[in-house]
Structure 1
Amino acid sequence: MPDHSLTAFRLVKPPSDRALSALLSAYRDNRLYDRVVQAFNTLPAELGIKPGLVSHNVLLTTLVASGDLAAARALFDEMPHRAGVQPDIVSCNEILKGYLNTGDDAAFDQLLKEIAGPERHLKPNVGTYNLRMTLLCARGRSFEAQELLDAMGARGVPPNRACFNTVIKGLCNEGEVGAAMALFRKMPEVPRQNGTGVSPNFETYIMLLEALVNKGVFDPAMEVCKECLHNKWAPPFQAVKGLVQGLLRSRQAKRAKEVLMAMRKVVKGDAKEEWIKVEAQLSLLLADKKS
């Protein structure tokens, strides 16, 4: 596929920055990072193309993904002077991501100040906020991340699913499953530009279910599991096993049986045989509780 992309690129007449950025993106998406750098450094001079903002951002993404943050920052700083291209908020987010990956909190905070400062004067987007919340959660400050999430809408940047998942994951990791569950329940009510509500995805349900089961909070775990199964997503067997065992210990055999029956309908393919084994073990426990 990447070789086909190069062939298609050379067919474009006249050569354009748009075609270059598409080629670079194809290489990057296939993790061919060396080819991105080589193409960026050779093709513009060969074909008389002036790389624009999008091509520079693809290269920034590549350098950060490959772990070469020093080269990414050097490119970022040189863009206005050597290429006449001003970094935008996407460019800044890539460098922030690099600092997040390397744990350089001081550099992360400094660039955040520059973004809003008089020199750059850029408006943070949803990606910027998500990176900030990821850093706060990684430092055990998930409640601060939640405050930032709550403030986003008022600043004209509605949070998306990734933002909610970031904070829910942070709260779960800190054992704050009640707060995580409360945030989960707020998702359908969040104002959006094209309506209301943010839909949870499989990742949201699994993070919550595993955290609630591990904490022994089985009523909300049952609620999350039922929603997940209603969407025809089969949760990890270990989490379901923990939920069923917890319900049985709480003398809720009927609800435990409901989970088993719902899982049987949702599990497909190769996983079905493995689930039959798990269900057989749990059915024995269920029978013991009845006897």
Structure 2
Amino acid sequence: MATSSFRRTLTTIKPNSFPYSLFSASFSKTLNPPYSSFRAAQSIIVSVSDPNKIADVILSQSSYPAFTRYRPIYPYAVRKLARANRCDLVERIVEDHLSKNKVSAGFFIRFIMLYSEAGMVDHALRLFYDFSPKFQSSEKPFCAILTTLLNNSKFETFHEVFGNADKVMSISPSVKVFNMKLRAYCEEGKVGLAEELLKKKMEKDFGVLPDICSYNVLLEAYLKRKDWVKFDDLKNVVIKRGLEGNVTTYKHMIVRLCKNKECDGASKLLDEMVDKGVAPNAACYNWIIYGFCRIGDFVSAKIVLERMIKDGYVAPSSLTYYTLFRHMVQEGEFLSALVMCKIILKRNWVPPFEAMEGLVKGLLEISMKKEACKVVKKMKKRLQGPALDSWVKIEAALPCCCFIYPNWALGYFTLALFLDYLVLLGVFSEDDLLSFNCSIKVLSAVPRINFKLLELQPSIFVTGSLMLRLCTCPNLLQLFAFIYSSIIATPKPFLIPSFQIISLKLVDEHSSAEYCASS
């Protein structure tokens, strides 16, 4: 999602807007052809898929400070190269930049993280050891390489590098570094070692006082292990030590209550956060909404959603609405789910397929066939490829009376449908139909139906046979009257008769005629 958001940002920058306005004046004159401007080079990186082309653009502009200062461009390019398995081009870009530019601490850290995103841990380590002597007075490069090792699950190397902290830094590791050590222990499943480090060694052996982030690491580990006793004990330690919880602390406590179906308590924590000036994030609201949905309390869940909108700390995301929608369908609340579905579609989101399929089936169960068909129609307009094929199958399984066609198409469709049935049943062949010296013009806008899926009564077949004979009659008005009356009289109609105008067009070998009549 972050990549697609960045892509939209890059491709929608206007010439007079930030950040383009920062570079356009000087950059349009300095960039090498064919990249006459910053935006031109940027657009190529975003649009092309050829890894070599992306690398060529980066390399050709790496001497220009305005280009290299624009931070999003390098991570975006590196991610594309990594997806293409072109780590050699990533290395080439980094080495080219390091050879042309003075390496500051900021750029040093940036390129370590670029290697991290590409999964090139060995390259990141080599770069760190090559340049770390220049930045021994800062722990930021050290934190960058530890983050790289954590993000790539290189725990053994992590502990090795951590043990050499005194050799690569001229300062003692801070609590931030030890928090990363705690995180490494928890992620590799050694929670006992994390507990020992937090409760005994950090303060006693290393003289580092744990902060609220230190406790958050273990709280999260207990959540994942569903160890509620240790979670509550550690929470009490935090309170006893007088540490003020941050948004992560409150989120963990909310998750713990919601998983235990104590959603009212989670809502009270939300009130406490606001009272203490801690701004809730999306996860806090979403977990409470999810908790109420789990116990089937959709009224309270919608109240939390309304509060989320009213508080204004963070806007509801698609996940927020998907959570409500999915659980409403699961609990059989199809009317509420339909309302939520309309909101989701209005925001141009695509709901989960399983939930949408459940909604359509649920609407049919409560005799809301028209609404079910509208849902299918809207989804077919939004999707392409395999996803669209799935919806075509759902549409084919709908009761035939759900198919609503424009009034002007009913006449053409009625006649064509009957004739198709006669061919399907073997009453006539296609050559037999041609022998009647008449053809039927069916508009391309009218879809064909898989007739084998429709369960129609035998009386319709008789109607079709009689109607076919009438096709040879010169009195087309009689044919129109017969079709109209037969649709109305059919016990189980497969077309909705509530139309205003029917238009039939038959062309024989001698003449053509068109009749229209209103109901």
Q: Please confirm whether the aligned pair reaches a TM-score higher than 0.5, indicating the same fold.
A: yes
- Which one-letter code corresponds to 1:259 in the other structure? V
Q: Does 1:113 align with 2:236?
A: yes
Q: Please say if residues 202 and 210 of structure 2, whose CA atoms lie closer than 8 Å, have aligned partners that are also in contact.
A: yes
Q: Deviations over 1:57-87 (max 9, x none)?
A: 1221221122211111112122123223221
Alignment equivalent of 1:249, drawn from 360, 365, 369: 365
Alignment equivalent of 2:266, drawn from 127, 136, 145: 145
CA distance, structure 2, for counterparts of residue 114 and residue 290 of structure 1: 71
Identity %: 33
Q: Please say if residues 64 and 95 of structure 1, whose CA atoms lie closer than 8 Å, have aligned partners that are also in contact.
A: yes
Q: Does 1:128 align with 2:244?
A: no
CA distance, structure 1, for counterparts of residue 160 and residue 383 of structure 2: 46
1:87 alignment partner in structure 2: 210
Instruction: Give 1:48 shift.
Output: 4.0
CA distance, structure 2, for counterparts of residue 180 and residue 39 of structure 1: 47
- Which one-letter code corresponds to 1:81 in the other structure? K
Q: Does 1:30 align with 2:152?
A: yes
- Alpha carbons of 1:219 and 1:38: their partners in 2 closer, same or farther (altered >3 Å)? same
Rg comparison, structure with higher value: 2
1:193 alignment partner in structure 2: none
Q: Please say if residues 229 and 266 of structure 1, whose CA atoms lie closer than 8 Å, have aligned partners that are also in contact.
A: no
Gaps of 5+ in 1: 191-195
TM-score when scaled to structure 1? 0.87
Alignment equivalent of 1:102, drawn from 213, 225, 250: 225
The range that moved more, 265-274 or 223-232, is 265-274
- Which one-letter code corresponds to 2:238 in the other structure? I
Count the aligned residue pairs.
283
CA distance, structure 2, for counterparts of residue 165 and residue 177 of structure 1: 13
CA distance, structure 1, for counterparts of residue 346 and residue 374 of structure 2: 12
Q: Does 1:209 align with 2:328?
A: no
Identify the structure with bigger relative contact order (alpha carbons < 8 Å, sequence gap 6+).
Answer: 1
Instruction: Give 1:252 shift.
Output: 3.0
Alignment equivalent of 1:6, drawn from 104, 118, 125: 125
2:174 alignment partner in structure 1: 52
SS at match of 1:121: coil
Q: Please say if residues 96 and 111 of structure 1, whose CA atoms lie closer than 8 Å, have aligned partners that are also in contact.
A: yes
1:219 alignment partner in structure 2: 335
Instruction: Give 1:146 shift.
Output: 1.9
Choose between structure 1 and 2: higher helix proportion: 1
Q: Which runs of 4+ in 1 moved over 6 A?
A: none
- Alpha carbons of 1:104 and 1:158: their partners in 2 closer, same or farther (altered >3 Å)? same
Give the alignment's Cα RMSD to 1 decimal.
2.3
- Alpha carbons of 1:8 and 1:149: their partners in 2 closer, same or farther (altered >3 Å)? same
- Alpha carbons of 1:36 and 1:290: their partners in 2 closer, same or farther (altered >3 Å)? farther
CA distance, structure 2, for counterparts of residue 285 and residue 206 of structure 1: 30
The range that moved more, 267-276 or 27-36, is 267-276
- Which one-letter code corresponds to 2:251 in the other structure? N
Gaps of 5+ in 2: 1-119, 404-453, 455-491, 495-519
CA distance, structure 2, for counterparts of residue 80 and residue 168 of structure 1: 39
Instruction: Give 1:167 shift.
Output: 1.2
CA distance, structure 2, for counterparts of residue 285 and residue 85 of structure 1: 73
